[in-house]
Amino acid sequence: MAEIEVKPVRSRGDLKRFIKLPWRIYRNAENWVPPLILERKRHLDREKNPFFEHAEAEYFLAWRDGEPVGRITAHVDHRFNEFQDNDWGMFGFFESVDDAEVARALLRTAEDWLRERGRDRMVGPMDFSTNHECGMLVEGYDVKPQILESWHHPYYRTLLEGCGLTKAMDLYKWTLHMSARESRLLPVLEELAAKLEPEHGITVRNMRRRDFHQEVERFMDVYNQAWERNWGFVPLTENELVTYSKDLKPILDENWAFIAEKDGQTIGAALTILDYNEVFAKLNGRLLPFGWVRFLRAKKTIKWVRVWALGVLPEYQHTGVAAKFYIEHFEAAAKTPQKGGETGWILETNTAMNKAMEAMGGEIVKTFRIYEKPLGARSQE
């Protein structure tokens, strides 16, 4: 078999091959959903993605017989390392044919690039951080991915672990359904939600599309404070916030977005989005020329949602705000076509949130894994 060569992406043609490689890797995979090509181009664009205001990255393609057979990125997020006080490097966008030699060549290239920059550990996959798509699917292959989520071949786990990577953290996704309110919801959640305003003076309202940028700012203020102690977290910058605002506004459904306030201060937020992957699965990565029509008409046909993020300021987490958010989600399901959904990923170590999902009648439907590997001197093989 021909030698494998890993080379950095240098031309527009190579970038196109980098983006399009998954179409080859997953061509017979029923559950894979093609990403939007325009969105992937923008995300990888060092001039347009504000992630690169505090990070550096290299993109690599693995070649054999003149054909790309794998890809990977290596990147250093200086903001993340400063916030977490470590010297990690990351890898992401990992795709490979089912060939251990290809995976080994890709991962060794990423390791070397990170080692040259003084990194003591390689962690991933992250595309590019925990604020983006992250983790390798290790359980739940029979379920289609939701919006802002990847699906991977089962053999990927074998490839990574065969190259010496070990588990750093598992991320759980829970599924919830409207029917659980009557059959499995713990009564204490209803009681806490009912007491929120009379006992604590906290109200919950829907986000307002007409004031969306300010609403996202309120949401992200909570996000950056509520998640700051989480493993792998890095706070969003102002420019990243602006980008998220632009990306989220077209898919915002006010029925599924909530703000908790006390005396005019935002103290909690929950943003759930319709699972537009139900639409993207039919577009083959392209909105043009007719994909926009399907996109705009999809709201009434989408059946599933994703709880993208839910958080409460630490000093108010004892008041029952989260319980109120949970009940509001059941209320939204009662009046919309969407009767169920999945949570965003929850750290396996987040005992409180995982217990809350159990209390709501949820079940773990997918597990994503973030891997790590210490970066000492390169071993001789």
CATH of the domain at 164: 3.40.630.30
pLDDT > 70? residue 371 = yes
pLDDT at 378: 62
Q: Do 230 and 347 contact (CB within 8 A), yes or no?
A: yes
pLDDT in tens, 97-145: 999 999 999 999 999 999 999 999 999 999 999 989 999 999 999 999 9
Over residues 78-82, the mean pLDDT reads 96
Tell me: do 14 and 137 sit in the same domain. Answer: yes
> What pairs with residue 122 in β-bridges?
89, 373
pLDDT above 90: residue 293: no
- Mark whether 181 and 255 lie in a shared domain: yes
Instruction: Show Cβ contacts of residue 50 under 8 Å, excluding neighbours closer than 6 positions.
Output: 237, 239, 240, 242, 243
243 plus 356 within the same structural domain: yes
Task: Based on the fold, state whether residues 208 and 159 are members of the same structural domain.
Answer: no
Distance CA 139, CA 175 (A): 14
Looking at residue 221, what is its pLDDT? Answer: 82
Task: Enumerate residues 6+ apart whose C-beta is below 8 A from 335.
Answer: 255
> Does the pLDDT at position 289 exceed 60?
no
Per-residue pLDDT, averaged over 29-53, amounts to: 94
Phi, psi of 190 (to 5 degrees): -65, -40
DSSP 378: P
Position 380 in a domain:
no
Whole-Å CA distances, 197 to 173, 319, 321, 355: 30, 10, 10, 24
pLDDT tens column, 162-212? 999 999 999 999 998 877 677 677 788 889 899 999 999 999 999 888 888
Pair 216, 353 in one domain: yes
Q: Are residues 185 and 326 in the same domain?
A: yes
What is the tally of structural domains in the chain? 2
Residue 381 located in a structural domain = no
Domain ranges, residue 135: 5-171+369-374
